[in-house]
Amino acid sequence: MQEATIDLIEFSSLVPIKALGMAHCRELLDQSEVRVVAKGEAVFEQDAEAKNILYVMAGEVELHIDGKMEKHIKGGTRLAKLPLEQGRYYQYAARALTDVICVSVDPAALDVMLSWGQPGGYEVEELDSAHDDSDDDWMAKLLQAKVFHRIPPANIQSVFMNMTTHHFAVGESVIRQGERAEHFYIIREGKCQVNRKTRKNPEGTVLATLQEGDSFGEEALISGGKRNASVIMETEGVLMSLSRIDFLELFKEPLLNWISYVEGRELAADGATWIDVRLPAEYQIRHIQHSVNIPLPLLRAKLEKLDLKVKYLLYCDSGRRGSIAAYLLAQRGFDSFVLQGSLDTVPASEMA
């Protein structure tokens, strides 16, 4: 078969990709691999590791379990808008009934774009945007953030002792896409732009504009991945930073509570609420029974409807969006926990 290409409009209609803006869809497509599978060949084998998310764009595929046909998927249909599988390992074996064109999407890249897409995702409203050159005034303003209400007093003292002040010029890079995450930043003065580059768009796409009081850099520190975008100064500015080691020890460890599904089930029996932070279409495919669906991009806007007296158990497919959501809730004073690992750790009998 000849090399195939994917139409951007068709790609942007896939679930959950359709939640992204067109610029991000184009960027994700640039990063994705188009696969051509000949009639009769395997698309993937049962129980193999699912490193990427696969969609059927053209042709017909049958899914089998232990040799028994379970599903028939044809490119262009409603069912083909969904991933062939979701999970760390393939439950089915997939065979091409005709010549097939598939697109293989990196789940980490998709999570990154869904996470950056949350409105106001880098606001820290409790920090006064006015500033003063006095270190005492700066510390007082920083302490207004609710995130500090959850940190042990000894940690707070260490935060101030370990913060470093950086002065940046217009156009200077604070962090660079692809580099190892080494610092967490809070903007004390000035504005920054978040920019992500691709092979086809080397100039990059602006994902967000950050200003005084906003913080950034925690996502890569929490996930352990590399920087998924660059942050460049739009104006002159002053930033405060914590090293990776200090951030993980002083912020992440006190705020992020990882739990197994068994532990989460026990908390739910005592009144805790499961929150699925994936998109509605993902939620409809499968979810933990009696869970509530609040997609990560909407979570901040829904905070006022959550009860501070209730414990919340956050989850997604991989733990990436769940950990960001749990960190966000913890910053606002909620008791939050995040499911360790993926939904594959949840018994099938307890999924809906």
User: For the chain, which residues make up each domain, given as ranges?
Assistant: 8-105, 113-253, 258-350
> Are the C-beta atoms of residues 221 and 185 closer than 8 Å to each other?
no
**93 — pLDDT class (breaks 50, 70, 90):** very high
**Tokens at residue 311, please?**
């414990």
Q: What fold characterizes domain 113-253?
A: Jelly Rolls (2.60.120)
Q: Considering only residues 265 and 85, tell me which one the structure prediction assigns the higher pLDDT.
A: 265
Give CA–CA dist 256/254, Å, rounded: 6
**239 — pLDDT class (breaks 50, 70, 90):** very high
Q: So what's the pLDDT on residue 124?
A: 28
Q: So what's the pLDDT on residue 340?
A: 87
**Do 8-105 and 113-253 agree at the fold level?**
yes
Count of helices and strands (H, E) across the chain = 12, 20
CATH number given to 8-105: 2.60.120.10
- Say which residues have a Cβ less than 8 Å from residue 65's Cβ, sequence separation at least 6: 46, 91, 92, 93
- Tokens 């806007």 correspond to 301
Give the lowest-confidence range in 111-120, 228-237, 299-308: 111-120
Give the lowest-confidence range in 114-128, 204-218, 315-329: 114-128
**Tokens at residue 323, please?**
């950990």
Give the lowest-confidence range in 48-62, 75-89, 162-176, 338-352: 75-89
Q: Is the dihedral of CA 166, 120, 335, 143 positive or negative?
A: positive
Task: Give the pLDDT confidence of 94-112 residue by residue, as tens digits.
Answer: 999 999 999 999 877 777 6
**133 — pLDDT class (breaks 50, 70, 90):** very low
> Are the C-beta atoms of residues 71 and 101 closer than 8 Å to each other?
no
Q: Considering only residues 135 and 79, tell me which one the structure prediction assigns the higher pLDDT.
A: 79
User: The whole model's pTM is what?
Assistant: 0.53
Give the residue from 60, 64, 62 showing the smallest Cα distance to 102.
Answer: 60
**221 — pLDDT class (breaks 50, 70, 90):** confident
Average pLDDT over residues 241-269: 85
Give CA–CA dist 340/148, Å, rounded: 24
**309 — pLDDT class (breaks 50, 70, 90):** very high
Average pLDDT over residues 21-33: 85
CATH superfamily of 258-350: Rhodanese-like domain (3.40.250.10)
The answer on pLDDT for 128 being more than 60 is no
Mean pLDDT, rounded, of the chain: 82
The answer on pLDDT for 146 being more than 60 is no
